[in-house]
Amino acid sequence: MKPQYQHNVATSFALWFDHHLLAKGEAFANQTGKFYNYEDSRIPSTYKVFGSPHKQFVFDSSVSGAIVPSGVYVNSVFKPRSNGLIMDYMNGRVLTTGIAANAAVTGAYSVKDFNIYMSNEDEDDLIIENNLEENAKFPWSGTYIQPYDELIPAVFIVSESLKNKPFAFGGEDETRSNMKCVVFTDNPYHLDGVLSLFADTQKKVFTEKDFGDYPLTEYGDLKNYPYNYSDYYANPNPSVELFIDDVTVSKLKDSRSRGSNVKTYIGFIDFEITQYRYSRA
């Protein structure tokens, strides 16, 4: 099935949300450290996998002060992406060919304060059923983050609903998309910060991009390096701009420990997004 309008809205919204949180909220930390070798059955055997002690890396070069890695050091020699190396920004690791499993792999990168996930689960399932672990704040010796685990602090973006309403003669509709963001964090300061930051985005616009132009590959690497959010949406066509008509933020009244000593604080951001379009064209 070819991508539809809501696919475009959801991915464009996720990229805008990530950029706004990193650029305006400065929600990242710069790190330098070791990558640890491990096996991953989902990855072709031609690659060796080296994971960092963190999850998602910043991949947007337009974020001031952020380190977007273009490679790593292997036995103190720099190995770039163009030389048999894949940067998996989403899983905080590198995939590389032509080196031994016991090679010393190090690098510098920026780790997001909040991992960003697209989800099809509703908020009740996310809160009650998910067994989310806490993300590493600082590197420690001899370990790495499992590649496909969902870690907090995190924001889960859920595409909730889509409704077309007749707007003008000639078949033009007002299309309203509702996006919900469920925020999980380990301290109330970060929760208040995210909710406040996005409460102020009401009446802002962001640009729709085709689903097929999403900048990351199936391995979590950039299709074209560097990726710059501002350049990605250069010279936008006003007809594909999406208007954030309304934003509502709220908190879950109680914090939850989830069977550990770490309390989880949960909040919600509801976006109502409007575009005028010819949906039946």
The domain limits of the chain are 5-277
Q: Chain-centre distance of CA 189, in angstroms?
A: 20
Per-residue pLDDT at 215: 94
Per-residue pLDDT at 138: 41
- Distance of CA 14 to CAs 7, 33, 119, 136, 254, Å? 11, 28, 11, 23, 27
Per-residue pLDDT at 255: 62
Per-residue pLDDT at 194: 97
Nearest one of 118, 135, 170, 115 to 281, comparing CA atoms: 170
Per-residue pLDDT at 101: 92
One digit per residue, the tens of pLDDT, for the chain of length 281 reads 888 988 999 999 999 999 999 999 999 999 999 999 999 999 999 999 999 999 899 999 999 999 999 999 999 999 998 888 999 999 999 999 989 999 999 999 999 999 999 988 777 667 765 555 555 444 444 578 888 878 889 999 999 998 989 888 878 888 999 999 999 998 899 999 999 999 999 999 998 888 888 999 999 999 999 999 988 766 555 558 899 999 999 998 766 655 545 678 999 999 999 998 887 77
Per-residue pLDDT at 272: 97
Using a CB cutoff of 8 Å and minimum separation of 24, what contacts does 9-12 make?
A: 9/159, 9/162, 9/177, 9/179, 9/208, 9/242, 9/273, 9/275, 10/118, 10/157, 10/159, 10/179, 11/118, 11/209, 11/211, 11/214, 12/206, 12/207, 12/208, 12/209, 12/242
Q: Chain-centre distance of CA 173, in angstroms?
A: 30
